[in-house]
Amino acid sequence: GQQVMQIPQYQHVQEGEDFTTYCNSSTTLSNIQWYKQRPGGHPVFLIQLVKSGEVKKQKRLTFQFGEAKKNSSLHITATQTTDVGTYFCAGQGRRTYKYIFGTGTRLKVLA
Protein backbone atom coordinates (compact mmCIF):
# COMPACT_ATOMS: atom_id res chain seq x y z
CA GLY A 1 0.00 0.00 0.00
CA GLN A 2 0.90 3.66 -0.17
CA GLN A 3 3.57 4.67 2.36
CA VAL A 4 5.17 7.96 3.30
CA MET A 5 8.48 7.70 5.11
CA GLN A 6 10.39 10.50 6.75
CA ILE A 7 14.08 10.64 7.59
CA PRO A 8 15.61 11.05 9.98
CA GLN A 9 13.31 9.76 12.70
CA TYR A 10 15.09 11.86 15.33
CA GLN A 11 17.48 14.78 15.08
CA HIS A 12 19.32 16.62 17.83
CA VAL A 13 20.98 19.88 16.83
CA GLN A 14 22.75 22.70 18.62
CA GLU A 15 20.88 25.97 18.56
CA GLY A 16 21.96 27.88 15.48
CA GLU A 17 22.62 24.80 13.36
CA ASP A 18 20.55 23.97 10.30
CA PHE A 19 18.07 21.09 10.12
CA THR A 20 16.51 19.18 7.23
CA THR A 21 13.83 16.48 7.19
CA TYR A 22 13.00 14.47 4.09
CA CYS A 23 9.65 13.01 3.12
CA ASN A 24 9.47 10.15 0.62
CA SER A 25 6.29 8.67 -0.80
CA SER A 26 5.96 5.30 -2.48
CA THR A 27 3.47 6.81 -4.93
CA THR A 28 3.00 10.11 -6.74
CA LEU A 29 1.22 12.73 -4.68
CA SER A 30 -1.28 15.39 -5.70
CA ASN A 31 0.04 17.73 -3.04
CA ILE A 32 2.07 17.75 0.15
CA GLN A 33 1.28 19.42 3.45
CA TRP A 34 3.64 20.01 6.36
CA TYR A 35 2.70 20.14 10.02
CA LYS A 36 4.49 20.81 13.29
CA GLN A 37 3.46 19.20 16.55
CA ARG A 38 4.96 20.42 19.80
CA PRO A 39 5.35 17.92 22.65
CA GLY A 40 1.94 17.40 24.24
CA GLY A 41 0.29 19.52 21.57
CA HIS A 42 -1.66 19.02 18.39
CA PRO A 43 -0.48 19.32 14.78
CA VAL A 44 -0.29 22.83 13.39
CA PHE A 45 -0.50 23.36 9.64
CA LEU A 46 2.62 24.97 8.21
CA ILE A 47 2.26 24.96 4.43
CA GLN A 48 0.95 23.19 1.34
CA LEU A 49 2.85 22.57 -1.89
CA VAL A 50 1.06 21.57 -5.07
CA LYS A 51 3.29 22.08 -8.09
CA SER A 52 6.16 19.89 -9.20
CA GLY A 53 9.48 21.46 -8.13
CA GLU A 54 7.73 24.08 -6.02
CA VAL A 55 9.75 25.89 -3.37
CA LYS A 56 8.20 28.02 -0.64
CA LYS A 57 9.78 29.95 2.19
CA GLN A 58 8.47 31.02 5.56
CA LYS A 59 11.10 33.06 7.37
CA ARG A 60 13.76 30.47 8.35
CA LEU A 61 11.79 27.53 6.88
CA THR A 62 12.18 26.38 3.27
CA PHE A 63 9.87 23.76 1.80
CA GLN A 64 10.45 21.93 -1.45
CA PHE A 65 8.31 19.53 -3.51
CA GLY A 66 10.21 17.16 -5.77
CA GLU A 67 9.97 17.19 -9.55
CA ALA A 68 8.36 13.76 -9.58
CA LYS A 69 5.98 14.77 -6.76
CA LYS A 70 7.09 11.80 -4.69
CA ASN A 71 9.31 13.55 -2.22
CA SER A 72 9.57 16.75 -0.27
CA SER A 73 11.88 18.42 2.20
CA LEU A 74 11.72 20.95 5.00
CA HIS A 75 14.86 22.90 5.83
CA ILE A 76 15.21 25.12 8.89
CA THR A 77 18.06 27.61 8.92
CA ALA A 78 19.67 28.56 12.23
CA THR A 79 17.41 26.54 14.50
CA GLN A 80 16.00 28.04 17.67
CA THR A 81 14.67 26.33 20.80
CA THR A 82 11.15 27.25 19.64
CA ASP A 83 11.62 24.91 16.66
CA VAL A 84 11.45 21.87 18.96
CA GLY A 85 8.73 19.40 18.00
CA THR A 86 7.80 16.71 15.51
CA TYR A 87 7.48 17.65 11.86
CA PHE A 88 5.07 15.67 9.72
CA CYS A 89 4.45 15.67 6.01
CA ALA A 90 1.13 14.46 4.60
CA GLY A 91 -0.09 13.98 1.08
CA GLN A 92 -2.87 12.61 -1.03
CA GLY A 93 -2.01 9.90 -3.51
CA ARG A 94 -2.65 11.09 -7.06
CA ARG A 95 -4.15 7.74 -8.07
CA THR A 96 -5.07 6.21 -4.73
CA TYR A 97 -6.72 9.38 -3.36
CA LYS A 98 -5.58 8.16 0.06
CA TYR A 99 -4.38 10.81 2.50
CA ILE A 100 -1.31 9.56 4.35
CA PHE A 101 0.81 11.15 7.04
CA GLY A 102 4.55 10.64 7.10
CA THR A 103 6.24 8.92 10.02
CA GLY A 104 7.48 12.23 11.40
CA THR A 105 10.86 13.65 12.41
CA ARG A 106 11.34 14.63 16.03
CA LEU A 107 13.61 17.64 16.39
CA LYS A 108 15.39 18.53 19.59
CA VAL A 109 17.33 21.78 19.80
CA LEU A 110 20.04 22.09 22.44
CA ALA A 111 20.66 25.59 23.77
Partner 1 sequence: KAGVTQTPRYLIKTRGQQVTLSCSPISGHRSVSWYQQTPGQGLQFLFEYFSETQRNKGNFPGRFSGRQFSNSRSEMNVSTLELGDSALYLCASSLAGSFTDTQYFGPGTRLTVL
Out of 22, 25, 34, 43, the only residue in the binding site for partner 1 (CB under 8 A) is: 43
DSSP letter, residue 59? T
Out of 12, 95, 98, 110, the only residue in the binding site for partner 1 (CB under 8 A) is: 98
The answer to whether 39 contacts partner 1 (rule: CB under 8 A) is no
The answer to whether 59 contacts partner 1 (rule: CB under 8 A) is no
Out of 3, 8, 45, 110, the only residue in the binding site for partner 1 (CB under 8 A) is: 45
Contact 90, 79 (CB under 8 A): no
Cα dist from 50 to 13, 20, 40, whole Å = 30, 20, 30
